[in-house]
Amino acid sequence: MIDIHAHILPQIDDGAQSKTMAFEMCEMAARSGVTDIIATPHMMDLYASDEFSEKVNVRVDFMNRLMEEKGIALRIHKGAEVFASGDILFSPDLHPFTLAGSRYLLFEFDFGEATLNFAKEVAGIILSQDLIPVLAHPERYRFTLSNYENINRLADCGVLFQCNIGSLTGELGKKEAVLAREMLNAGAVSFLGSDAHRVKFRNTDIRGMLSSIKEGKKKVDYAKIEPLLTENPAKLLRGEHVENPSFATLKKKLF
């Protein structure tokens, strides 16, 4: 399996707080069957890109050397989770922040403040730089939770979606779980990721999360999960095209 969204680099954001924690998170991922992780620390200041890139490079190199020394079969790739504030609309070059040097850019919004119009504007900026926008955890934003049809509108703009596996288990909230499961079952999700920040809560144990989904008999089409952790991420790492999924219009159900 390949995890395209994890905060496993030590002391760079709100993820791993030490080298020891970073190692434990990577070791857990490898035991869980993960062969590759794209490290995606939060990129909050696009005007500090050189400093950010240097920190990421140093930490990724360190963690890969550590994996070799410890005999752990896990490869860590460089990436970022770009916070889409107003600054992104004026960014001259987003290429340094792509996932594993690909054309895919993982980005996120403020959970409560983002709007559909702003999201479409950001997607347009990313696409204008010949990059492919991948929205992190679309199931967690107020503007998508309040209106599922906004997922369709973003997909129409060429946005791909990465849902958190923890959302499918219910770990991140009931409303988030419902939307993530609706998206998965409809075929709207292109990637799944751990979005891991710690060793315990929100960790890298993907196999454990998948077991929880399966054994808990969640309302999830389990057969649709594997390609989102294997086939599509492998294409991303190889620099190949991941097809924009075709799916039926999502509509929020009334209970």
pLDDT of 4 > 60? The answer is: yes
Residue 251, in any domain of the structure: no
Residue 9 sits at the vertex; the CA angle it makes with 8 and 11, to the nearest 5 degrees, is 120
Residue 65, in any domain of the structure: yes
Residue with tokens 């857990």: 28
Per-residue burial over 223-245, b = 16 or more CB atoms within 10 Å of its CB, e = otherwise: eebebbbeebbbbbbeeeebeee
pLDDT of 255 > 50? The answer is: no
CA pair distance 156, 210, nearest whole angstrom? 30
CA pair distance 132, 89, nearest whole angstrom? 16
Mean local confidence (pLDDT), 21-29:
98
DSSP letter for each residue of 181-227: HHHHHHT--SEEE--B-SSSSS-S-HHHHHHHHHHTT-S--GGGTHH
Residue 212 sits at the vertex; the CA angle it makes with 105 and 220, to the nearest 5 degrees, is 65
Among 104, 80, 79, which residue's Cα sits nearest to residue 160? Answer: 104
CA pair distance 189, 2, nearest whole angstrom? 15
Band (218; pLDDT cuts 50, 70, 90): low
CATH of the domain at 91: 3.20.20.140
Residue 182, in any domain of the structure: yes
189 CB-near residues (< 8 Å, 6+ apart)? 161, 162, 163, 180, 183, 224, 228, 245
| pLDDT single digits (tens) 86-119 | 888 787 799 999 999 999 999 999 999 999 999 9
Residue 18, in any domain of the structure: yes
Domains identified in the chain, total number: 1
CA separation, residue 13 to residues 18, 34, 75 (Å) = 11, 22, 20
The boundaries of the domain holding residue 20 are: 2-238
Mean local confidence (pLDDT), 219-243:
95
CA pair distance 181, 163, nearest whole angstrom? 9
Residue 27, in any domain of the structure: yes
**What pTM was estimated for this model as a whole?**
0.96
Choose between 216 and 166: higher pLDDT.
Answer: 166
Terminal CA-CA length for the chain: 36
Residue with tokens 């999360």: 209
Residue 243, in any domain of the structure: no
| pLDDT single digits (tens) 31-71 | 999 999 999 999 999 888 999 999 999 999 999 999 999 99
| pLDDT single digits (tens) 116-152 | 999 999 999 999 999 999 999 999 999 999 999 999 9
To the nearest whole percent, how much of the chain has pLDDT over 90?
86
Mean local confidence (pLDDT), 63-89:
94
Residue 230, in any domain of the structure: yes
Q: Is 74 exposed, middle or buried (0-12, 13-18, 19+ CB in 10 A)?
A: buried
pLDDT of 249 > 60? The answer is: yes
Residue 80, in any domain of the structure: yes
Residue 99 Cα to chain centre, angstroms = 10
CA pair distance 193, 163, nearest whole angstrom? 6
CA pair distance 170, 206, nearest whole angstrom? 14
